[in-house]
Structure 1
């Protein structure tokens, strides 16, 4: 299923087309991220030069002086894991999606990214028309993008995992849970259990406590057994945790539990009282795996230390500015009451004093900014997931295992893959190849222009490049041993694997009998004096030359 959506702006101020383009092209301050696969410029006079196209787009945006709206539109469309359409198909998809929301003729820059399990394209679109210079704000773009994506799936024969018409009928009948994007984002990016998901998981228990209650007092007392309460919020009510700052809509439990229907059944709302006993069960923020507790506690301590240092710096900066302001006011008063200064002299003294005051304030702000940057460098983790990535890069196998939680892994469709005889997860790194760790636990190794992905239980690539395949085989020996390697992929890829193993005279065997026979024959022809590779099953670890390996 292809997904096309508008990426929301992080701030309510106007976004910068230059900054957005730097992000999607992985340039300037974003250069440390994984490189893009390719880029495309559309509807510009200079379609082959990024810098000239950028100047042209910014000049077009400056021509519109009537609108204060954000002139940038950030479109993203992605594909299921393993599906990678060719360039001409991507170009047609991009054009049709932009056309569907009324921005087909607008200037845009797009970039193809392959740094996640989902092949995806970012499109930065100038909402100012290049001819009329009118600002165009797409109307109902969310629905139009979904409908166009459905049509493009059929047109290009893309993987279709959702019956759109059945899904629409189901929505009309109210037979599915409404998604909660913030909760899903929390789940995906922090590996924590969202309260919304916890409520859905325990929905039967919660409703069993609400249904028999004759009044609010009994209802609230029953909910206290799960450390829950119903609270007013805005014009309605929410279900909240008593001990954690966590809320969920009452509609999460079902339509019959809306604020109006509950008040009709239980009477006028009454707030919860202090519970008489400890709860039998409760929602607790934290990692989804109990084994993560050591890392979670270390992460919480790191975040608390960062918070404390920031608070101390904020107070110190405020005190310094207050002292400077007091000093400035006292000096200004001294100038005003000085009988020896004439009018022009006082004016000049005021100007010098104000200039000095502003310089000192700037110096305080600059010093504080430097301290904040240092604190950020000392505590770089922005969230639980980035903390795990940092720890995994340092060689913590438990952190890598936590990133590779089953809920974060997706089924990959058609990739060239290599795995061991036993489908076990190996949380190890070859640090000598300078791996990049993604937030879902996938380790990316770059070999020339090719990329090898290690998901823990298999190695994946999309190339038939002999150098990359040889490196992949060496990684496989390190990860899975020498015996019974399982090869998946096209016939050309499988033949390249056989050739690489035989050419390098690697002591490996393949699980596929036909592949193993071809390898033995080719290896015997290329290395007639070399001993044959052993065929007995069982995992054998690589020789000790991998001294740079951390487990």
Structure 2
């Protein structure tokens, strides 16, 4: 969970009513406003609370700063606390900031990739009428979030600030707008050369080669491009602050940009951030459309103003003519005064109507020709059905896919299921949100997720959408309860699909046709019992025919998919190893033996008078014991974690390469930790500057948690790690 204060730079733009109006606006989306709350107001109605808060703020006439505190609580992707937890989080954070007694309105939005809660707080105390502005609120918010994450079991985030405010704002712009910032471009293109400069002349030369200029502003230095866009020099690097540069090179020497110097031809242009696909042509479409939008808006706005001025001139001309007519007409002074008053009222009414029409027309033009950021334009085009724009959104580095209880599909024949799903919106990561009844289904191009109201109708719609778009081989990720619901829904709706997990598929088949499976399991169970009692326990009271029948029916597998042990021997004439070469009674005679398996003498069967009753272990003599192994979703969790770390490695250089552990990695490695992703445990093993990610079970994870980082472990297979103690 991340808490962020959104400051209002211009006090004139600060308006509590406008903020609440924006938060409560559903923007014609069903999945936008999902939770509202009003605290410390006489009415729980949003409109009434806005009037009350505005009145309280108007009582304090001395304050010249912003009277509204806008706070956002953002949660990890796939995390959606219930309403009671949201209310508790809001209360605890507001009390920690000192706003426990202040009026506030909270609205939660779920139309983005991350569920988030907006809190609009009145900074004016309702009774004392004093303003409260918390000091160093980012540190307070970090401590509160860390404590609340532990208390309510939320996914943990890093709350330590490692960058200055300007760097964070530049990263926010790149993340939300999808366009490279000037600050990020300077760091990537010429930061090393700037730090290596030996004089003011070298510094100015490097900047001019990249179309930049260094100049004084206030008490510091700024770097500007040819269009006048500026960033603080100290934000690019602390070594470029004015104080440190003056200490190195002496007093600042300005050098204006030379118009004839072309340099290396490099200059900053607002371009899309790195992506997995080429978006050059798509970005060209975007720029051309935005230029046309500005031109059309200017043209129509000019025509609208000209129309308004023309109508106003006509009204004034008519009024002037009416006044002249009244002046020349006969009548008493009172009659003329009444006519003049009627003319003035008519003019005022017509002018108000003209201005109101112009205001509505201006709002229409601003809404119709609103300039869009790159990602917002991609969202709009993807909503219209543009597949290239949708692919560009999904190819962004930040797009990591859906998490939690999800459904994916592959292979098989695409089927027309006729599911009725209305597209609600598209997020900045390319996730399409569909409305199906009272539920919402999210599709990121690889997986589908029922994000809210996991009803049977929503789960069935998710399966049908997966079958229509990706195939009939369904893979389910998430908790055991979610998988059970998916199987039950698939069987009840009689969907023509197949689960990749054999356990889920057997369960689905048993639910679809329970009579056949019950009869088969009954027959198999009786055969198994005959094998254990008649053929294996002793030959007295059982015939060779029954034993042979049990042996024949014991071969192969059940139709439901469970494997049975083959090679169960028949009636034997040779005694078992523990009964050989000694005197025995008739009751000790063994009648069943394993004719093809290895024979061995267990320590407990050796006579007590022997000097060394123990035996050396020989695994080749033992029959292999079948284990359940790791489920497919364990490897999916490993791939998800690896993808997330690899995406972060592109931004943070000190993160090692991560890849999945395979059979070729058997040997000694260093223990690097244990992670839990979507309920699955992963062991991190370090070898040659590479982190190997191994899916493990819960018992192995508990055993590895006792180790220290850097301890040596031995890997013997997939999910098998040996330590100094007992391995599993």
Say whether the fold is shared (TM-score over 0.5).
yes
Distance change (3 Å), C-alpha of 1:491 and 1:307: same
Match of residue 96, structure 2, among 93, 96, 100: 100
Distance change (3 Å), C-alpha of 1:314 and 1:35: closer
Deviations 1:304-348 (A, max 9, x none): 233223323444455556667878599879979x99699989877
The equivalent of 1:478 in structure 2 is 468
Shift of 1:254: 1.8
Shift of 1:444: 0.7
Q: How does 1:55-454 map to 2 (within 5 A)?
A: 55=48, 58-59=51-52, 61-62=54-55, 66-68=59-61, 72-130=68-126, 132=127, 134-140=129-135, 141-162=137-158, 164=159, 167=160, 171=162, 176=163, 179-202=166-189, 205-208=190-193, 211-216=196-201, 218-242=202-226, 244-263=227-246, 265=249, 267-277=252-262, 279-288=264-273, 289=275, 291-319=278-306, 328=316, 355=345, 358-359=348-349, 361-376=351-366, 378-379=368-369, 382-410=372-400, 413=403, 415-421=404-410, 433-454=422-443
Distance change (3 Å), C-alpha of 1:179 and 1:486: farther
Asked whether the equivalents of residues 189 and 385 of structure 1 are also in contact (C-alpha less than 8 Å), the reply is yes
Matched, 1:8 2:1: no
Distance change (3 Å), C-alpha of 1:365 and 1:40: closer
Shift of 1:158: 2.5
Counterparts of 1:479 and 1:407 in 2: how far apart (Å)? 24
Counterparts of 1:212 and 1:144 in 2: how far apart (Å)? 40
> How many residue pairs were aligned?
500
Asked whether the equivalents of residues 450 and 468 of structure 1 are also in contact (C-alpha less than 8 Å), the reply is yes
Distance change (3 Å), C-alpha of 1:454 and 1:368: same
Counterparts of 1:232 and 1:364 in 2: how far apart (Å)? 48
The equivalent of 2:649 in structure 1 is none
The equivalent of 1:549 in structure 2 is none
Q: Secondary structure at the match of 2:216?
A: strand
Counterparts of 2:222 and 2:352 in 1: how far apart (Å)? 46
Asked whether the equivalents of residues 61 and 133 of structure 1 are also in contact (C-alpha less than 8 Å), the reply is no
Shift of 1:97: 1.0
Counterparts of 2:14 and 2:165 in 1: how far apart (Å)? 30
Asked whether the equivalents of residues 320 and 364 of structure 1 are also in contact (C-alpha less than 8 Å), the reply is no
Deviations 1:486-544 (A, max 9, x none): 2111111111222222333333222222222323333343899xxx9xxxxxxxxxxxx
- TM-score relative to the length of structure 1: 0.77
- TM-score relative to the length of structure 2: 0.60
Shift of 1:454: 0.9
Deviations 1:26-62 (A, max 9, x none): 46xx45462433333433455xxx33x7536634653
Counterparts of 2:177 and 2:442 in 1: how far apart (Å)? 22
Distance change (3 Å), C-alpha of 1:189 and 1:354: farther
Shift of 1:194: 1.2
Counterparts of 2:456 and 2:304 in 1: how far apart (Å)? 59
Shift of 1:355: 4.8
Let me know the Cα RMSD of the aligned residues.
Answer: 3.9
Asked whether the equivalents of residues 16 and 68 of structure 2 are also in contact (C-alpha less than 8 Å), the reply is yes
Shift of 1:270: 1.7
Deviations 1:284-315 (A, max 9, x none): 21223573333333332332233223323444
Q: Which has the higher contact order (CA 8 A, sep 6+)?
A: 1
Asked whether the equivalents of residues 401 and 444 of structure 2 are also in contact (C-alpha less than 8 Å), the reply is no
Distance change (3 Å), C-alpha of 1:63 and 1:95: closer
Distance change (3 Å), C-alpha of 1:213 and 1:363: farther
Distance change (3 Å), C-alpha of 1:182 and 1:332: farther
**Where does the alignment leave 5 or more consecutive residues of structure 2 unmatched?**
412-418, 518-558, 560-728
Please tell me whether Structure 1 or Structure 2 has the larger radius of gyration of its CA atoms. 2
